[in-house]
Structure 1
């Protein structure tokens, strides 16, 4: 957590701001600053629980709760009918993890160490699954973008549900692969040493309270998105693809960079790629299923979101090919992310 714990003061401040009906821009900012440390608290609580549950269940909990903050934010966005923001945040998380987080990790680690090595086999498995996932999103999008709108009938509404089911099954099989049949490949990542600092009761209590607080702050955040974007002249795409992923994954991002600085590039790369994989194969399908409770959301992304994700995944596969990284590769990844961010801002 480190300095992020001081951001917890923004929780009561944001609640007071909401009661006082302050400007949506200020409410958006305050709730964002409150969510960042809460995501870190959830991650820390999950890590503590893993000491009691064992490496396998602990690994599953980390995978499940790793993107819980963004899942909660997206739930409220779905409820508010902000489908473009939700889909943009899915694409933005993938792009941000691969380009910004991995790039920052390589840059920081590369400044301290000339060359950093990571487990090539593990990264190749994750990168291949990520490529499959993006292909799964691309094919239906190309299909719907190349036929006339009036040709779409009601049966195509089930297209997204079918894709979501296929991706979720692949996610479960991926967990089985990494925690059972090929756990030897992952080694240290799933068998971290150390002792629990909290009791199991405290860990579970903290996790529940942090989740409730994230839900409250997410409702503030989502309610202020539309008026805030109108006030500042920003597009909802920019908020979804750049701002929300950074807010929801800030704690996880800082962990990846710190691991790289300690020459633990294996962990940093796995956080960046693994988180992207969870977003597409776990979070996106869950959101599709949840949307059935309100208004069904399609999993069809626009052309620019697709191109940005495809380019990002191809870059990861290229980076994974040699099992090494340096600071220049980090700069290049960050530069591509900045170009994409500017494009969405305009």
Structure 2
């Protein structure tokens, strides 16, 4: 996985605790249990299944090669977001699909990144980022943010009668450009400038893990990884669909909106494993690797998943666009702007992480109050 170069995945028994929860998650939906119980069971299952997908993707990347592994992990690492987006599109719930994407970005750059900075720099002096890496990633972040702000500018430039068609045309064309940019980013990451993304910790881990094994053992390990990956992806899709189908009842029971569930519950479940990896890496001092995980996850959402959903909506005749809810767009842009300024500054202390966490909590309160 390109995002996880240099991070040693945590075991957590590769997500097998989900096997005990999946039957309960299915029964809760079949027999119409309390919506809160349905939400807890399925969200918990998604957390363990995300770990299984991550572990299997990393193992397959070692067999398939860096580029193929990167493409596989970029797709499967966002299984929850992709599934939620596609299922919501099929049901005509475009705002729900967009809210999941915004929530994933906010949880990555505010919640996970904030925890990373606090863990890495608490009781330490002011620390620094890899300057070249930070500036490259911050530029890509701003491009992602700007493409999501442009539809808002279009709404202020055209008559109401023409705007929907104009924004739809802009969104589809821009999505194709963003997909090409993501391909170029992967080539930059894994090809021409891969030295920017290699950490000393990653090289040391690689040397330690290089142990001779027989071809038969390699084939058996590959088969096990593929089987586990397919099973985890199918189960994740199943659990995510259950959550989406019961979102309305869950919202009524918990006293929140469906958008609140889309922005906070699903992304936190999807990014939980990534967050554990990042915090573990930052505790060892490998903050650059942790930053790569977080920013690359944002780029995967902004440059791959969202444009891909626009193209999918194009194929199924659903008007999925890059025009998001105005408040969500502003919140996301400001969050990216704050993180971009932090990366450009090149230095950080635990107070910077605390500020990111405070901003995330503030957004939770605002979204709850809306």
The equivalent of 2:12 in structure 1 is 2
Query: Once the 2 structures are TM-superposed, how far is the Cα of residue 125 of structure 1 from its aligned partner?
Result: 0.9
The equivalent of 1:40 in structure 2 is 51
Query: Once the 2 structures are TM-superposed, how far is the Cα of residue 285 of structure 1 from its aligned partner?
Result: 0.9
**CA gap 1:17/1:118 in 2 versus in 1, 3 angstroms:** same
Q: How many residues get paired? A: 346
The equivalent of 1:130 in structure 2 is 141
Q: Distance in 1 between matches of 2:124 and 2:69?
A: 31
Q: Would you say the 8 A contact 1:116–1:263 is kept in 2?
A: no
Deviations 1:210-265 (A, max 9, x none): 11111111111110111211232312221122221111111111111111111110
Q: Does the alignment pair 1:200 with 2:222? A: yes
Unaligned runs of 5+ residues in structure 1 are none
The equivalent of 2:300 in structure 1 is 278
Q: Would you say the 8 A contact 1:70–1:249 is kept in 2?
A: no
Equivalences for residues 27-176 of structure 1 within 5 A? 27-111=38-122, 113-145=124-156, 147-152=158-163, 154-176=165-187
Query: Once the 2 structures are TM-superposed, how far is the Cα of residue 83 of structure 1 from its aligned partner?
Result: 1.4
Q: Distance in 1 between matches of 2:331 and 2:202?
A: 31
Match for 1:258 among 280, 286, 291? 280
Q: Does the alignment pair 1:249 with 2:271? A: yes
**CA gap 1:11/1:320 in 2 versus in 1, 3 angstroms:** same
Q: Would you say the 8 A contact 2:60–2:226 is kept in 1?
A: yes
Q: Does the alignment pair 1:209 with 2:231? A: yes
Q: Does the alignment pair 1:307 with 2:307? A: no
Q: Would you say the 8 A contact 2:175–2:307 is kept in 1?
A: yes
Q: Distance in 2 between matches of 1:251 and 1:70?
A: 14
* 329-338 vs 242-251, which moves further: 242-251
Q: Would you say the 8 A contact 2:80–2:266 is kept in 1?
A: no
Query: Once the 2 structures are TM-superposed, how far is the Cα of residue 294 of structure 1 from its aligned partner?
Result: 5.2
Q: Would you say the 8 A contact 1:25–1:224 is kept in 2?
A: no
**CA gap 1:168/1:119 in 2 versus in 1, 3 angstroms:** same
Deviations 1:84-110 (A, max 9, x none): 111111111111111111001111122
TM-score w.r.t. the length of structure 1 is 0.92
Deviations 1:251-299 (A, max 9, x none): 1111111111111101111111110111010000111122232522122
Query: Once the 2 structures are TM-superposed, how far is the Cα of residue 16 of structure 1 from its aligned partner?
Result: 1.6
Query: Once the 2 structures are TM-superposed, how far is the Cα of residue 115 of structure 1 from its aligned partner?
Result: 4.0
**CA gap 1:229/1:140 in 2 versus in 1, 3 angstroms:** same
Q: Distance in 2 between matches of 1:94 and 1:153?
A: 25
Q: Distance in 2 between matches of 1:22 and 1:294?
A: 34
Deviations 1:99-147 (A, max 9, x none): 1110011111222644444322112111101101110110112212565
**CA gap 1:120/1:153 in 2 versus in 1, 3 angstroms:** closer
Q: Distance in 2 between matches of 1:115 and 1:206?
A: 42
Unaligned runs of 5+ residues in structure 2 are 1-10, 212-217
